[in-house]
Structure 1
Amino acid sequence: MAPQTTSLRAALAYAGNLFSQLQVPLGGGRSDSDNAPSRLPSSVFGHTNPADNSNNFPAAGITPYDPLSGAPTCPIDSPVSCNNKTSTEDSCCFVNPGGRLLLTQFWDEETHVGGAEEDWTLHGLWPDLCDGSFDQFCGMAPKFNNITEVLEHYDQSELVEYMNRYWVAKYGTNDHLWAHEYNKHGTCVNTLAPSCYGDAYKPGMEVVDYFARAFGLFRTLDTYRALQRAGIEPDPRATHPLAKIQAALEDFSGSRVILKCGGARHDLLHEAWYVYFVQGSLQSGEFVPARDSFHGDKGNCAKNVRYLPKRSK
């Protein structure tokens, strides 16, 4: 069933702890004929009222996840990225060297197509190096420029519909943005290499895994709702202590959050970057909230910032 146009808060289910939602696989089994990931089950994008569960707030913890594709299942005691001194650069069960994953979101200036006033949108999932620097366009995984075509080939049209609402380009097409994000960042994830899929590999499986994992994590991180719970809502005149915003989002997610701001005085709240490690592979591993300080973890915001309402197009 095609999703209805609604806000992110209403569209995404809040059934118990948000982190536990990722125990529902974003793809059931695989087709006997081609090992392709199955269609996203409707329960993943169930429409429920978050008010029904208003007292259940996300807690820090590791996020279980079932693999989408033919990628190998990793041992339960797989090392956590950036927390293991053993040389495992070639392992398909250890994200390395880009083991610090940043789930990045935008507070857009304008209401995007199909969205609502309270929607933050997805920017990307970035595998930064453990010291906070980063590689890009790595080639560990193949490049793809036809993301929609690949996802639809693997019967992921519902995922594409949701990405068109919550992973949107300010300029150009959404497909161009997704290709840019994948080719710049996804190709730097070593566990997405074709060799990690073994004989089950078919081109594009890694694309499904990357986008479904990124969107699956994004759907647990409702930045608007987290700030609202702290009494912080878009307002054309109000200013808010940056420290209060930081604390609200870090308490909400359990992870380190890096905030970015625009404007001449860097006082317009614009981006939130949630920081994670991964235990196991990107495909089948668990996101572990990262709370440590590292090179590159500093935001650029002023001490007091504004959180402006969106402008209608």
Structure 2
Amino acid sequence: MSSSLLAFSTLLGLAAAVAKSCPASSPISCQTTGTIQNTCCTEVQGQVLQVQFWDSSPATGPANSWTIHGLWPDNCDGTYEATCDSSRAYTDIGCILEDKGHGDILTYMETYWKDYQGDDESFWEHEWSKHGTCYSTLNPSCYTNYSKEDELVDFLNTTITLFKSLPTYQWLANAGITPSSSKTYTNAQITTALKNKFGATPILSCTSGKLNQIEYAYNVRGSVANGKFIAVEPTGTSGNCPKTGIQYVPKDLSTTPKANEGSCS
């Protein structure tokens, strides 16, 4: 599906149902000037980046899919705030999801939101505390009949919902770009294949010439919980992959770490 305009009017019936609704005329993030009047309906850190990993060794996730890194707020210029509210640095996220009746989210995360060392829970906690707590529209004050951790569920659900709408592996494969131990690709080939589907330029990141991360940028009208996500050109960075000779290495699934298994009391 095209992600140029993605509306989250319903988010699988999750905690978003209690997030305060925003007027259709709410300003689009990164397009306002001066002080934002309603920080529950316009993101203070206005650009939102859905970030994906390609881990080949150690390998994470299925052989035919990228995995989730996170959902990062950005100040519309490449800078960002981090770890904004230590009082909401929730732990035992898997147990929170189970307790709130969202085992479906947890099951999806256990497949597609993976840590390269096998410590998925710590990875989720890090992404939430560093990035999730910084969304102004996910502040508890933005909720009606707020229950603790509602905003965490919305953050996780929005992250995976966006990820599902961005099938990077399939988009690249459709353009003839598939993992290979010998073939290389140009930056333009990869960028064009993804831009044609997403509607805006992705940010490509490489390590030692190997493609391992992609960021898709959005502006948002309304809350990150249930607003409209608009694909936009990224600001502040253009990635670090070379123009030519980019390797897209197959995943070596024999190197996949065993996930640390926790238990809920």
- Note whether the superposition's TM-score is higher than 0.5: yes
Partner of 1:176: 122
The two structures, once aligned, show a CA RMSD in angstroms of 2.0
Separation in 2, partners of 1:134, 1:275 = 14
The residue number in structure 1 matching 2:213 is 271
Separation in 2, partners of 1:294, 1:234: 28
Task: Identify the residue that residue 17 of structure 2 maps to in structure 1.
Answer: 69
Q: For 2:228, which of 279, 286, 292 is the aligned residue?
A: 286
Structure 2 residue 75 is matched with structure 1 residue 129: yes
Matched, 1:246 2:191: yes
Task: Give 1:240 shift.
Answer: 0.8
SS at match of 1:269: strand
Distance (whole Å) between structure 2 residues aligned to residue 75 and residue 86 of structure 1 = 19
* TM-score, normalization by structure 2: 0.89
Is contact 1:78-1:279 (8 Å) kept?
yes
Q: Does 1:26 align with 2:11?
A: yes
Match of 1:153 in 2: 99
Q: 1:71 to 1:209 in 2, by over 3 A?
A: same
Task: Report the TM-score when normalising by structure 1.
Answer: 0.76
Q: Which residue of 2 aligns with 1:301?
A: 241
Alpha-carbon distance in structure 2 between the residues aligned to 1:152 and 1:130: 35
- Please tell me whether the aligned partners of residues 81 and 100 of structure 1 are also in contact (alpha carbons under 8 angstroms): yes
| Higher alpha-carbon deviation: 205-214 or 248-257 | 248-257
1:230 paired to 2:230: no
1-side partners of 2:71 and 2:125: how far apart? 13
User: What is the CA-CA distance between 1:150 and the residue it aligns to?
Assistant: 1.4
Pair 1:139-2:85 in alignment:
yes
Q: CA deviation at 1:119?
A: 1.1
Deviation at 1:311, TM superposition (A): 0.9
What is the count of residue pairs matched by the alignment?
252
The answer to which structure, 1 or 2, has the higher relative contact order (CA under 8 A, 6+ apart) is 2
Contact 2:62 2:111 in 1 (8 A): no
Alignment match, 1:101: 48
- Structure 1 residue runs of 5 or longer lacking an equivalent are 1-16, 29-36, 38-66
Superposed CA deviations along residues 29-57 of structure 1, whole A, max 9, x for unmatched, are: xxxxxxxx4xxxxxxxxxxxxxxxxxxxx
Q: How does 1:5-20 map to 2 (within 5 A)?
A: 17=1, 19=3
Q: Which residue of 2 aligns with 1:167?
A: 113
Paired letter, 1:106: F
The yes-or-no answer on 1:116 pairing with 2:62 is: yes
Task: Provide the rounded CA distance (Å) in 2 between the counterparts of 1:84 and 1:301.
Answer: 32
Give the counterpart letter for 2:50 in structure 1: L
Of 55, 80, 95, 2:28 maps to 80
Alignment of 1:262 onto 2:207: yes
Cα separation, 2, equivalents of 1:250 and 1:151: 34
After TM superposition, give the deviation of residue 188 of structure 1 in Å.
0.6
Tell me which residue corresponds to 1:13: none
What whole-Å deviation, never above 9, does each CA across 1:61-103 have from its counterpart, x for those lacking one?
xxxxxx723111111111110111141165210111x111110
Write the letter of the residue equivalent to 1:312: L
Deviation at 1:153, TM superposition (A): 1.6
> Letter of the aligned partner of 2:169 in structure 1?
Y
**Deviation (angstroms), 1:140:** 8.8
Q: 1:75 to 1:22 in 2, by over 3 A?
A: closer
- What is the distance in 2 between the residues matched to 1:90 and 1:140? 23
**Gap runs ≥5 in structure 2:** 255-265
Cα distance in 1 for residues equivalent to 2:6 and 2:33: 31
Give the match's secondary structure for 2:88.
coil
Q: Secondary structure at the match of 1:259?
A: strand
Q: Secondary structure at the match of 1:102?
A: strand
Identity %: 36
